[in-house]
Amino acid sequence: MTQKQLQEFQRRLDAELNEFKEQQKLGSKLAGQRSQMTTQLNENEMVKQELVLIQEGSQIYKLIGPVLVSQDKEDAMAVVEKRLEYLNGEISRLDKQIKDVETKQDQHRERIMEIQQQAQAAVQKQQQQQHR
Amino acid sequence: MAESSGSGGGGVPISALSLEQLGRAKESLEQETQHLVSSLQTLNGVRERFLESRRCLEALAGYRAGDRVLVPLTSSLYVEGEFTDTSEVIVDVGTGYFIRQGVGAAEKFMDRKVAFLAENLQRIQEVVNVKKRQQEALLAEMHKRILSQQQQQQQQGQSSQGPSRGGSASSSS
């Protein structure tokens, strides 16, 4: 295999490796976001449960800045429900993106293996020719 | 980072893996276990806080409106104050919402949280136990491999020393 061919293999390998690492970084970031959203989702679920359980006559307050502002039970429920909807939507969106990233990672992995195999085959062929 | 490494756990028998793969699987398990143990500690801390609040509520039962109390302004500065109404408290339920309710309802809230935390603590503890057992299985397999590798090397060493008595002849070790 000529020097030029060797460099070509190396170049293709490097390109695939870089893309693979990019996808890995993206995957990590998305996983972090998803985990954060899940935490918020759980917290809001708990608040919703508490709101459902409160007895008549209990006053609800929301912390806005340094002030506890009185809230209507229906309003509070509505706000929490909306937030839950939003969070669920975001989590599904993130899940799709994560799946995409994983597929891309698999593709890169395959191509890297292909390149390595091709390089190996070329080296072997050259060795056989030399030993003739 | 995807924790779904298939190596060693997802249906591939341990005996089919190389020593290197076993090592990597063990490390990844160790990391997961550490992460879980730290979660356990955090949850335990939170549980303690709720228990503490619960105890405060019980103590509150001993006070009536008009009783004197020291109110903390900072961690080292207090002012004298007076209880206005000791039958109701305002409870932080999360995401910025607070509920003013009777002490009884608040106590039940604390109890619910503590129970919820205890349940999760147990579940996580079980996962930790499973992972520890997997780690031990991997370690055992790794020891087996290393031992058998050492034995193979010893045997090869002996067989290549066999024929060359007296130092002459063909063996070129």
- Per-position DSSP letters for B120-132, written without gaps between them: HHHHHHHHHHHHH
A6 part of contact set with chain B, CB < 8 Å: no
Contact (CB<8Å) A51/B97:
yes
Q: Is the pLDDT of residue B158 over 60?
A: yes
| Mean pLDDT in residue range B112-126 | 94
pLDDT-above-70 percentage for chain A: 98
Q: Nearest Cβ partner of A54 from B94, B96, B99?
A: B99
Q: Nearest Cβ partner of A59 from B93, B94, B100?
A: B100
Q: Nearest Cβ partner of B99 from A31, A44, A50?
A: A50
Alpha-carbon gap: B92 to the closest alpha carbon of chain A (Å): 9
Cβ-contact B91, B106 below 8 angstroms: yes
Give the per-residue pLDDT at A1: 63
Provide CB contacts within 8 A for B105, sequence distance 6+. Answer: A54, A55, A58
Residue of chain A minimizing CA distance to B104: A55
Contact (CB<8Å) B100/A50:
no
- Residue B161 pLDDT class (50, 70, 90 cuts): low
Give the per-residue pLDDT at B1: 34
Q: Is A8 exposed, middle or buried (0-12, 13-18, 19+ CB in 10 A)?
A: middle
Is the confidence metric ipTM above 0.85 for this complex? Answer: no
* Of A22, A31, A2, nearest in space to A98 by CA: A31
A-chain residues within 8 Å CB-CB of B97? 47, 50-51, 60-63, 71, 76, 80
| Mean pLDDT in residue range A58-75 | 92
| pTM as predicted | 0.70
Contact (CB<8Å) A68/B109:
no
Question: Distance between the two ends of chain B, CA-based, in angstroms?
Answer: 48
Question: Distance between the two ends of chain A, CA-based, in angstroms?
Answer: 16
Q: Pick the range with the lowest mean pLDDT from A1-15, B63-77, B93-107.
A: A1-15
Which amino acid, residue A55?
Answer: Q
Give the per-residue pLDDT at B6: 41
| Mean pLDDT in residue range B161-168 | 53
B-chain residues within 8 Å CB-CB of A55? 101-102, 105
Q: Is the pLDDT of residue B171 over 60?
A: no
Contact (CB<8Å) A27/B1:
yes
pLDDT-above-70 percentage for chain B: 84
Write out pLDDT tens, residues B61-81. Answer: 888 889 999 999 999 999 999
Q: Which residue has the tokens 């989590």?
A: A91
Cβ-contact B18, B38 below 8 angstroms: no
| Mean pLDDT in residue range B91-111 | 92
Give the per-residue pLDDT at A66: 92
